[in-house]
Amino acid sequence: MIIGIDLGTTFSAIAMVRDGLPVLIAHADERIMPSVVGLTAQGALVVGTPARNQYVFAPEQTIRSIKRQMGQETRVALGEQTYTPADISALILRELKRRIEAHVGQPVDRVVITVPAYFSDAARQATREAGELAGFVVERIINEPTAAALAYGLDQRAEQQLVAVYDLGGGTFDVSIIELDAGVIEVRASHGNTQLGGDDFDQRLAEYLAVGFEADHGVDPRSDIRAWARLLRAAEHAKIALSSQPFVQVREEYLVSQAGAPLHLDREISRAEFEGLIADLVEGTLESFDAALNDAGLNVEALDRIIFVGGSTRIPLVWQMVADHTGIEPETEINPDEAVALGAAIQAAIIAGEPLDTILVDVTPHSLGMEIANWEFGHLVPDCYSVIIPRNTTIPTTRSEVYSAITPDQTAIAIKIYQGEHPVASQNMLLGEFLIDHLRPEVAGQPPRVTVQFDFDINGILHVAAVDRGSGKECRISVKAAHAQLTPADIAHNRAALDALELEGGDDASAGAGPVNLEAQGLLARARRALINSQSDQTALAEAIATLEVALRHGDHDAIETNVESLIDLIYDLEDE
Amino acid sequence: MAVFSLFRPIQRWLAGHAGPATPQSPQDGSSQEVLQRLVAIEQQLGALPQAEGLDATLAALEKQLGRVGREQLKANALVQTQADRWAEALEALQSADQRRDADIVRLREQAQRGQAQTRLELIQAILPAIDGLDEAVRAGETLLAQPVVPAAPSFWERLRGDHPVPPEPLRETMGAWIAGIRLVRQRLLDVLAADGIQPISAQGQRFDPYQHSAIGVVPSDSGCPPGTVASELRRGYQQGERIVRLAEVVVAKQMHA
């Protein structure tokens, strides 16, 4: 058995393939372990969370982010001794080894470890050495973007692909352009910012809250160590909540006191405000993206796919800006915190010759949204489709958006829930509708606003709740929506098929494109097998196969049906011999 | 074919037994008759248009028999394959049944763990509320510790003869009010205790990285030796050996001037 390890700058994770599927191995409520090593005041070695806990108290006895120094001819001090970066990483790996062995109940000796694409030979060698010092046989060192590609099953496809891996984690940002050709993966270019991540977003929001608090109350909470710690934590929670809600209430009671009197923080932050705070940072990542494309000698049209790695890619602004910049919808189906570790486990299983299934994810195959009216060039355009849960979102998921009534004296809003991709709402499939009435404006003279929440549960039921922000009144409905268990390859395929339909000006964006193609694909596979197994010359069969493939590529339904029929006849005769 | 194969020998035999040609002998006459009749039959048979057709039909019949035999063989093979498949299906169902039994046991355990997990999540969701009460009590105590400067009555108050409320009863009231908040906090802590969740004792204890997370440092002094927890920023909780939430603390450290 070979396991996979994502040895990260701030966090590390272990994964292994079990029953054909890669899974992350948790330990004591932790799915990821801080990459921190330390010596306690008593001289005991601590690795992981305990080491991180003591950093502020004993920074000279604690080592963080050793990954930044891998490959360097340097030594770090821990207690009385000095160690190489590989030694420190070995301590981290040894703890991970101990955890996985405790989990499976037997020795685990073989490992695949991931490294950044930009790692030098010296750094890679140091990583290998660290693994060996930890007691592992290092089967392979693979690049992190390659591991992500494996997690998405991209190596399974025969055709050549150019894929961008956008990795925005807690503390670092990396973007790599990789090329896949018949299962061989090669890194073409790599760029990034080792000092940019979700922690910086937290910092920006916490400072914004502090500045606002000072303006309101005249006291700067940053002067108080406890208040600042609470603000940072509140900012992190708010950031996460804003990924699925348009507003969040930030409450920190008794944050600071002034002349003895306590002061509380109690305010609402909108997603728009938060996005305003981080937009320039995200813009910077796009510059790195372009630089990587430049280094690879490609322009953005050459890219086939973009995959998202790292927890901060959950932020809707990041997705939107990358999608707008490239014209490609980034893929997020595999848990972005775990994709690299899962990919390492997959590589491990491939080397060990273990059977592998493709990861299946529960997703919404179609977008879910509601009908709204949009202001365009001074006109109110009705029957517009506002997507709340985009297609290919993993479920269960909860998303909400805020909408306002058209006029200030409007007292009711009709909520019509649709499933589909068409920008004209009524062209999609209506799932349900209800009315929310007795609306009250929040501010007199302004139209009332309503938050609409879509909660898609694991059973495929969509629960819709509309809440009037003015009165607090709530209305709910539950409807059945389509969900599917698909592999990432299927998702990309279906997306491409739908895009092809849209490109051909297909106003009938029917879901029929999907199933026909899958059936024809199955038939093609059987025909190809028959062709291989047949002893005699089968030009007719080969031609029929080719014709069907062409018909499929063009999405020509009539040609597909005719060719499917004639292919069936030919296969029948051949198997009858 | 059998008819003709006998016919020629009979004809030859009759011809051979014809003897001297005496038409009067009744035997001769009868054999002549038979011969003539046989010739006539032969002629008639030969004239039959289906003669060759019968050959062909018989050939076809032989072929059909052969085909039927092969079909029978195919059918038998098919039945055998089906029987094998049924056997496989039965085996598969049996092992699926066994797996289902194992799954039931596993799911039951999982459900129990899930319930425990849900309780823990609920408790973790309540912890911020307990934190808020902690803050309320702390703020109240800070307020009470403030030195009180009695406010001088204003000119108008003196003119009207008003008696301003002396600060002492207000402080007493506030003290009582804070005591009430402490009781509310205790209620919640009792709920946690019922699930085996206890606060982590941090204040004044030696810093333990397994239980405490250092948020800040202060210079150590006589009251607070190096390596001990000087103050608690946020309370931690544990359930037996398991840490529900780390205690966030400020640690005393030997600072070099």
**Mean pLDDT (whole number) for A33-41:** 94
pLDDT of residue A516: 46
The dihedral over CA atoms of B208, B212, B214, B218, expressed in degrees to the nearest 10, equals -70
* A444 touching chain B per CB within 8 A: no
Look at the alpha carbons of A479, A482, A485, A487 in this order and tell me if their dihedral is positive or negative. Answer: negative
Whether residues A314 and A282 share a domain: the answer is: yes
**Number of structural domains in chain A:** 4
Contact A53 B214 (CB under 8 A): yes
Does A358 map to a domain? Answer: no
* A336 touching chain B per CB within 8 A: no
**Range in A127-136, A202-211, A442-451 with the lowest mean pLDDT:** A442-451
Of B136, B139, B253, the CB nearest to A57: B253
Does A99 map to a domain? Answer: yes
Whether residues A14 and A94 share a domain: the answer is: yes
Range(s) of the domain holding residue B8: 1-17+26-42
What is the set of active-site residues of A? Answer: 6, 67, 144, 167
Does A163 map to a domain? Answer: yes
Nearest residue in A to B213, CA atom: A53
The pTM of the full predicted model, rounded to 2 decimals, is: 0.71
ipTM over 0.90: no
Q: Which residues of chain B does A260 touch, with a Cβ-Cβ cutoff of 8 Å?
A: 142-143, 146
Query: Can you tell me the distance from the alpha carbon of A4 to that of A25, in angstroms, rounded to the nearest whole number?
Result: 10
Structure tokens at A33: 């372990």
CA distance B42 to chain A (A): 47
**Number of structural domains in chain B:** 2
Structure tokens at A180: 């896949």
Query: Can you tell me the distance from the alpha carbon of A148 to that of A568, in angstroms, rounded to the nearest whole number?
Result: 39
Range(s) of the domain holding residue A213: 155-332
**Mean pLDDT (whole number) for B218-231:** 90
User: What is the arrangement of strands in the sheet containing B237-239, beginning at the earlier edge strand?
Assistant: B197-199, B237-239, B242-245
* CB count in 10 Å sphere of residue B103: 12
Q: What is the CATH number of the domain that holds B206?
A: 2.30.22.10
What percentage of chain A has pLDDT greater than the value 70? Answer: 93
Residue B154 predicted with pLDDT over 50: yes
Residue A97 predicted with pLDDT over 70: yes
Q: Which residues of chain A does B217 touch, with a Cβ-Cβ cutoff of 8 Å?
A: 56-57
| Residues 6 or more apart in contact with residue A549 via CB below 8 angstroms | A524
Query: Can you tell me the distance from the alpha carbon of A72 to that of A83, in angstroms, rounded to the nearest whole number?
Result: 12
Whether residues A471 and A388 share a domain: the answer is: yes
Query: Can you tell me the distance from the alpha carbon of A364 to that of A359, in angstroms, rounded to the nearest whole number?
Result: 16
Q: Per residue in A413-465, pLDDT tens?
A: 999 999 999 999 999 999 999 999 999 999 989 999 999 999 998 878 899 99
Whether residues A318 and A265 share a domain: the answer is: yes
Angle at A434 between CA A428 and CA A435, to 5 degrees: 125
Query: Which regions of B86-210 does DSSP assign to beta strands (E)?
Result: 197-199
Whether residues A374 and A411 share a domain: the answer is: yes
Contact B250 A225 (CB under 8 A): yes
Q: Which residues of chain B does A458 touch, with a Cβ-Cβ cutoff of 8 Å?
A: none
- pLDDT category, A512, cuts 50, 70, 90? very low
Of B135, B146, B253, the CB nearest to A253: B135
In SS3 terms, B137-190 reads as HHHHHHHHHCCCCCCCCCHHHHHHCCCCCCHHHHHHHHHHHHHHHHHHHHHHHH
Contact B233 A38 (CB under 8 A): no
Contact A225 B216 (CB under 8 A): yes
Residue by residue, DSSP assigns A273-304 as HHHHHHHHHHHHHHHHHHHHHHHHT--GGG--
pLDDT of residue A310: 94
Query: Given the DSSP bridges, would you call strands B212-219 and B247-253 parallel, antiparallel or unpaired?
Result: parallel
Nearest residue in A to B120, CA atom: A29
Residue A555 predicted with pLDDT over 70: yes
Whether residues A124 and A178 share a domain: the answer is: no
Q: Which residues of chain A does B242 touch, with a Cβ-Cβ cutoff of 8 Å?
A: 28-29
Q: Which residue has the higher pLDDT, A247 or B73?
A: A247
Nearest residue in B to A50, CA atom: B209
- pLDDT category, B79, cuts 50, 70, 90? confident
Does A349 map to a domain? Answer: no
Query: Can you tell me the distance from the alpha carbon of A135 to that of A129, in angstroms, rounded to the nearest whole number?
Result: 10
Q: Per residue in B36-77, pLDDT tens?
A: 888 888 778 776 766 667 778 888 888 888 777 766 766 776
pLDDT of residue B50: 64
Does A353 map to a domain? Answer: no
Q: Which residues of chain A does B210 touch, with a Cβ-Cβ cutoff of 8 Å?
A: 46, 50, 53
Residue A552 predicted with pLDDT over 90: no
Query: Can you tell me the distance from the alpha carbon of A418 to that of A423, in angstroms, rounded to the nearest whole number?
Result: 11
pLDDT mean across residues, chain A: 89
Whether residues A148 and A161 share a domain: the answer is: no
Of A53, A257, A261, the CB nearest to B213: A53
Query: Can you tell me the distance from the alpha carbon of B200 to that of B71, in angstroms, rounded to the nearest whole number?
Result: 83
Does B202 map to a domain? Answer: yes
Contact B207 A57 (CB under 8 A): yes
Counting one residue from A and one from B, how many pairs have CB atoms under 8 Å apart? 67
Whether residues A64 and A141 share a domain: the answer is: yes
CA distance A36 to chain B (A): 12
